[in-house]
Amino acid sequence: MHEAAPVNPWVAFAYLVAGVCFILALRGLSSPATSRRGNRLGMVGMGIAVLTTIFTHLPVIDLSPGDPTVPIYDRATTDWATLGEILAAIAIGAAIGLTTAKRIAMTAMPQLVAAFHSLVGLAAVLVGVAAYLNPDAFGISSLVVPMIGQPFAVINPVSKVEMGLGVAIGAITFSGSVIAFLKLNGSMSGKPILLPGRHVINLGVLAAILLLVAQFAHTQDTWPFWAIVILSFAIGFLLIIPIGGADMPVVVSMLNSYSGWAAAAMGFTLGNTAMIVTGALVGSSGAILSYIMCRAMNRSFISVIAGGFGATDSGGAAGGGAIDRPWKRGSAEDAAFLMQQAEQVIIVPGYGMAVAQAQHALREMGDKLKEHGVRVKYAIHPVAGRMPGHMNVLLAEANVPYDDVFELEDINSEFAQTDVAFVIGANDVTNPAAKTDKTSPIYGMPVLDVEKAKTVLFIKRSMGGVGYAGVDNEVFYRDNTMMLLADAKKMVEEIVKAMD
């Protein structure tokens, strides 16, 4: 069995510093006011971890007396070409990351996050496959010499368990994230795709994966390993396909957790402390966030893991499609007059605001209202948008004061005393069907009580469309609601002009 190489104390210290930076980054990201500092700390921690890992692979030149005809650079214990490949890979990845970060629009951020999760999962699978094919290079095997035949490497039992679980979680993360990306990008319908007996199928496949991991740890046969890979890719698709669009923010959070655990498992295989710490932090924080969001949506945390939550076998189509009822249409001038006469306006942003890139115009409108002595607040639903914190990020980008932004539980009671609720591009998170219609796919999800305001101004492109969950909103047809049908950015800009 290979003996573990002694750990350089400075390498261990550097990984410790990186881990502390990651913890402080998570703490900073918990609040919009400190999110930029948290982001910088995360970047510093990752930079330390990457540089330290490169340092551990630097060629160590043997300076002991030897054949003088052998050049000194050929006496290195690590191949210089290997170091060059590592640096080239980092350069390519950095170039792709920088280009993507500069070009990506905030509206596409959820898709980007899902794509990143898929890459983390795929990387975990590739590392696991490499370790299985060449365990000696990873230092996880012992050499066995049979009485007859060629010697072969036997992977350590613990390493086989780590490898099997890491590959399984990575494959689930990859395929699940691909489906999430397609749904978030609009390339696949956001409606649940329900397979008959899906829960039995999912549980059966998950049980089979665990049994195969045990079989692989016991025998090291080839077929259990590749069966784990194939079934894990399949279960990733099966878990995410049945989940409806309204619940996608929880899916993004859950996949984030999965990617962390996959990285941690591969950290054990590679013997890399930084990967173990980082993966555990991402995995645990993602799981906690998923749990918090499930509570906010009145969903079962177990049903999230099992897949297909927020959907019924009948498709939850009750209330789906637009309702043919009378409604009132307003203009930018009407909206400007009503809000300027109000004492308090609560703005509720949704994904429609993100698509229209209306956050800057919205902040300008809020500033205009404040000049008229109107109290302006922003109400954020936990799952508004397509990923956790999506609306907070967009408002922060537009320099909306953090003190004006409130979460659902902190502001929901104020709608009854509010003159105007200004809803811009939100549907499912303001739909009272979640409280009254047991056949609705969003039933049980806490929503913002905008209908209790004296007047509701609702920006929507047209009355024919429905929310991401596929259900219409009864608020559109209430007597105290005025529909503002237009592109969100254009309508807000016209309201600002009307205020002038």
Catalytic residues: 428
Distances (CA, A) of 119 to 39, 113, 114, 115, 174: 20, 10, 9, 6, 7
Query: Any idea how long the chain is?
Result: 500
Name residues whose C-beta falls within 8 Å of residue 185's C-beta, 6 or more positions apart in sequence.
108, 111
Cβ atoms of residues 386 and 351 within 8 Å: yes
The angle, 0 to 180 degrees and rounded to 10, between the axes of the packed helices 35-56 and 9-29 is 160
What does each C-alpha distance from 128 to 57, 134, 211, 332, 415 come to in angstroms?
A: 20, 10, 18, 58, 53
Instruction: Walk across the sheet containing 455-460 and list its strands.
Output: 405-407, 375-380, 344-349, 420-424, 455-460, 481-485
Alpha-carbon dihedral sign for residues 37, 38, 42, 48:
positive
Task: Locate 286 and state its tokens.
Answer: 């993602």
